[in-house]
Structure 1
């Protein structure tokens, strides 16, 4: 299932985008689109805080009470990595939108052709990413996982590895840190941190001498001996990302 949220304070715009999405879903039942609509930013944020996020959020810019870019910034501050599409009547916020990692900034009125083309690009990329799936044997059965959704792993009880994901899951697997790293490292952002931790640099917000703070707000203690190497790897990651 692919969850899509539309947030616009104009009901006619919501109805228009919803119709386009429904038609797209009918043509592509394999994506199993589930569409949610919100007429106010606070409704969207309240829903996400209680029920979790969406795969795609389509946002108007000018809405009563809060700009769409501010909504997106709040989501990013929560560590939400959802895909973003902005629909607006103004060109003024395009740079800000792309700084928030929006996949598209579309001027109203949005045509079915324009939105469909962007959905096609999005799902093509997702399908490519989904080829990078690892299969793990856990105490609860077989679990399929995309490495890009892993924030970090750490050694837990009885030398089991605990996997922390962006969805708030904690998955326990019986293998060594190195064995797990070998599986995860098909994603180039993973690094080893000491003997018992694997870290996805994409989600690292801050590094101190003994803790790592992630975009999700989680704090992880790590061996101080690993600090210099981790700092160098993180700086290299940042420079590559900026390029």
Structure 2
């Protein structure tokens, strides 16, 4: 999961960059990302104090006290590994930003391509820390990050993994699909859909009473006797993430 905090005292810029980050998040559901905008550096620090830190901070430099550099120093005192990125209209602040071991800085107005490239780098660091599962295929053993798994299907005494990008992996003979599913269901993003499927809910595009529509065009049927239970589990997951349905 990549948790992002964005802080800028200018409302227009805050809304514009938030929109860009949200567009990136929609393109990368595997990251399980969230972004929380703050117009006040004080509110950001209070949030960090009360609920804990974020993985990535996008901080305007020129803000009312405490300014972005002071905020970065405060964050760095409590979290030596957090990724700090400064948003500035002048490259003169680049040297100062490195005093708190900033990851980088972006010149304002922040451009989509530059921001997306930076978020790719942050996501790569985040994915390195994500859990994975070992899949024993007929051709050998493959270590797959859980974030890349879209669905797993039970069939013909084997399990078929569909991964982001459309790649598939098929295991050798498995004794029980329950064992395959159990390795995934410890992660809240996964949901068992009947006897034959486990789905990563972050890859669900939409849902009807009868089926899930997944990224990439997959359609996963929902057993009639489990429709109420499955729908409620999906709604609860999405509401906890603040995404609605």
- TM normalised by structure 2 equals 0.51
Structure 1: which 5+ residue stretches go unaligned? 134-243
Structure 2 residue aligned with 1:42: 42
Structure 2 residue aligned with 1:28: 28
Structure 1 residue aligned with 2:71: 71
Question: Tell me, what secondary structure is at the counterpart of 2:37?
Answer: strand
- The answer to whether the 8 Å contact 1:89/1:107 transfers is yes
Structure 2 residue aligned with 1:59: 59
User: How far does the alpha carbon of each residue in 1:218-239 deviate from its partner, in whole angstroms, 9 at most, with x for none?
Assistant: xxxxxxxxxxxxxxxxxxxxxx
Structure 1 residue aligned with 2:167: none
- The answer to whether the 8 Å contact 1:53/1:80 transfers is no
Question: Tell me, what secondary structure is at the counterpart of 1:105?
Answer: strand
Partners of 2:80 and 2:49 in 1: CA distance: 11
Question: Tell me, what secondary structure is at the counterpart of 2:9?
Answer: coil
- The answer to whether the 8 Å contact 2:31/2:127 transfers is no
Structure 1 residue aligned with 2:113: 113
Question: Tell me, what secondary structure is at the counterpart of 1:93?
Answer: helix
Displacement of 1:99: 2.6
- The answer to whether the 8 Å contact 2:56/2:122 transfers is no
Partners of 2:79 and 2:109 in 1: CA distance: 31
User: How far does the alpha carbon of each residue in 1:107-161 deviate from its partner, in whole angstroms, 9 at most, with x for none?
Assistant: 1011000000111122223333547x8xxxxxxxxxxxxxxxxxxxxxxxxxxxx
Partners of 1:21 and 1:79 in 2: CA distance: 23
Displacement of 1:78: 2.2
Partners of 2:20 and 2:35 in 1: CA distance: 11
Q: How is 1:140-155 mapped onto 2 (pairs within 5 angstroms)? A: none
Partners of 1:124 and 1:44 in 2: CA distance: 25
- The answer to whether the 8 Å contact 2:60/2:86 transfers is yes
- The answer to whether the 8 Å contact 1:8/1:38 transfers is yes
Q: How is 1:81-160 mapped onto 2 (pairs within 5 angstroms)? A: 81-130=81-130
Partners of 1:125 and 1:64 in 2: CA distance: 31
Question: Tell me, what secondary structure is at the counterpart of 2:79?
Answer: coil
- TM normalised by structure 1 equals 0.51
Partners of 2:124 and 2:75 in 1: CA distance: 24
Partners of 1:91 and 1:32 in 2: CA distance: 32
- Cα RMSD (Å): 1.9
Partners of 1:63 and 1:55 in 2: CA distance: 21
Structure label with greater radius of gyration? 2
User: How far does the alpha carbon of each residue in 1:9-46 deviate from its partner, in whole angstroms, 9 at most, with x for none?
Assistant: 00111111111111111110011211111111110001
Q: Is 2:8 the partner of 1:8?
A: yes
Indicate how the Cα distance of structure 1 residues 90 and 8 shifts in structure 2: closer, same or farther if over 3 A, else same.
same
- The answer to whether the 8 Å contact 1:2/1:33 transfers is yes
